Amino acid sequence: MTSAAHSSGALPASVDAMLELLTSRGYLAERSLATVTYLSLRMGRPLFLEGEAGVGKTEIAKVLSAALGRKLIRLQCYEGLDVSSAVYEWNSAAQMIAIRMAEAAGDTDRDQLSSDIFADRYMIKRPLLQALEPDVAGPPVLLIDELDRADEAFEAYLLEILSDFQVTIPEFGTVKAPSPPIVIITSNRTREIHDALKRRCLYHWVDYPAAERELAIVKSRVPGISAKLSQQVVRFVQALRNQDFYKSPGVAETIDWATALSELDARSLTPQVVGDTLGALLKYQDDITRMQGETLQKVLKDATSEN
């Protein structure tokens, strides 16, 4: 436990309070997710969320930052992400101008010059460095999104930041966060993340929600949707997840689909309207092809039957 966790009064004091906090912002979390989130805040440990795309991993960082009134700093990972785009970069153009100015002024003290131009104001701070800076509202929420897309070299670089919350800049020295940021790391598991990194985090697998919770999510995220339609939507999606698809629809897709249907003023699911909007739910042509004909009829019948 860090002293920071104690000093900030805004953090929830129990798992139930955490659950309430998330719910108040429209994030209907499973209790297990609330528990690990609470723990990660209390222990000052990064939270590593893994799971299929569209189950709400990224969303939790956004909700946390809004609910706690902290700044959200997002680092979207991609292949080739390096220190200069993730941590800091020197503003070389400005530095060169500074050198020329010094020359023109007849200033020839080299040591003075080098300490002048490697100063804070010539540094372009990228997300990771920003996250280490003190903030009036309290330590920010740092979202390291889709870490599996970055390459191993970057992952190794993160180890120092995540365990000591500091970075070392050769020309400048070490920057250490006065109090560690709240770190949320997400991964879609397009590759395995090294154990060394996971060891520094609390790990949680975010699963698809149960029908009841998903229904509640749809109702809260798609206001104005009829009770009947929302129920059918959720049943339909849950049935799809049992099918052997290449990519099962996530919660994000459910919300998209429900929104699409309510935009179209659909009252209930019919083969016609489902066929037209299936693209909001399934993202692979093979899956859509498989969904036609009998499979569609069957799933639709199950979803729309009254019980």
Partner 1 sequence: MAINHLAPEQTEQFADNIVGFARALRAAGMPVGPGAIIDAMSALQVIDIGSRADVFTTLEAIFVKRHEHALIFKQAFNLFFRASEEWKHMLDSVPLPEQAKKKPQAGARRVQEAMSQPRMTETPQHQEQDLRLSVSDREILQKKDFAQMSAAEIAEALRAVERMRLPQAELLTRRQRPDPRGLRLDLRRTLRASLRTGGEIIDIHRLGRIEKPAPIVALLDISGSMSEYTRLFLHFLHAITDARKRVSVFLFGTRLTNVTRALRQRDPDEALASCSAAVEDWAGGTRIATSLHNFNKLWARRVLSQGAIVLLISDGLEREADSKLAFEMDRLHRSCRRLIWLNPLLRFGGFEAKAQGIKMMLPHVDEFRPVHNLSSIQELITTLSRPLPPHHRSLIRSAA
**With contact defined as beta carbons under 8 Å apart, do 177 and 133 qualify?**
yes
**With contact defined as beta carbons under 8 Å apart, do 123 and 91 qualify?**
yes
Structure-token pair, residue 43:
């222990």
Shortest Å distance, C-beta 269 to partner 1: 27
Structure-token pair, residue 34:
């609330």
Strand partners, 48: 185, 203
Residues 126-155 as x/- pattern, contact with partner 1 by CB under 8 A: -------------------------xxx--
Residues 39-58 binding partner 1 (CB under 8 A) are 39, 42-43, 45, 50
Is 97 near partner 1 (CB under 8 A)? no
Total chain residues near partner 1 (CB under 8 A): 50
Crossing angle of helices 211-221/251-263, nearest 10°? 50
Is 164 near partner 1 (CB under 8 A)? no
Burial code of 171-197, b = ≥16 C-beta within 10 A, e = fewer? ebeebebebbbbbbbbbbeeeebeeeb
Structure-token pair, residue 284:
């692979």
Shortest Å distance, C-beta 91 to partner 1: 10
Shortest Å distance, C-beta 124 to partner 1: 11
Which residues have C-beta within 8 Å of that of residue 173, sequence separation ≥ 6? none
Rounded to 5 degrees, φ, ψ at 143 are -105, 115
**With contact defined as beta carbons under 8 Å apart, do 30 and 49 qualify?**
no
Is 265 near partner 1 (CB under 8 A)? no
List 92, 220, 270, 285, residue binding partner 1 (CB under 8 A): 92
Radius of gyration for the alpha carbons in the chain, expressed in angstroms and rounded: 24
Residues 3-42 binding partner 1 (CB under 8 A) are 14-15, 31-32, 35-36, 38-39, 42
List 121, 223, 244, 272, residue binding partner 1 (CB under 8 A): 244
Around Cβ 94, how many Cβ atoms within 10 Å? 13
The H or E element containing residue 61 is helix 57-68
* Parallel, antiparallel or unpaired: strands 173-176 and 166-169: antiparallel
List 117, 131, 177, 229, residue binding partner 1 (CB under 8 A): 117
Is 212 near partner 1 (CB under 8 A)? no
Is 288 near partner 1 (CB under 8 A)? no
List 178, 205, 220, 279, residue binding partner 1 (CB under 8 A): 205
List 113, 159, 216, 278, residue binding partner 1 (CB under 8 A): 113
- Contact segment (CB under 8 A) with partner 1 among 136-144, 186-194, 218-226, 293-301 equals 186-194
Is 82 near partner 1 (CB under 8 A)? yes
Site residues (CB under 8 A) for partner 1? 1, 14-15, 31-32, 35-36, 38-39, 42-43, 45, 50, 79-80, 82, 84, 89-90, 92, 95-96, 99-100, 102-103, 108, 110, 113-114, 117, 151-153, 171, 188-192, 195, 198-199, 202-205, 244, 246, 286
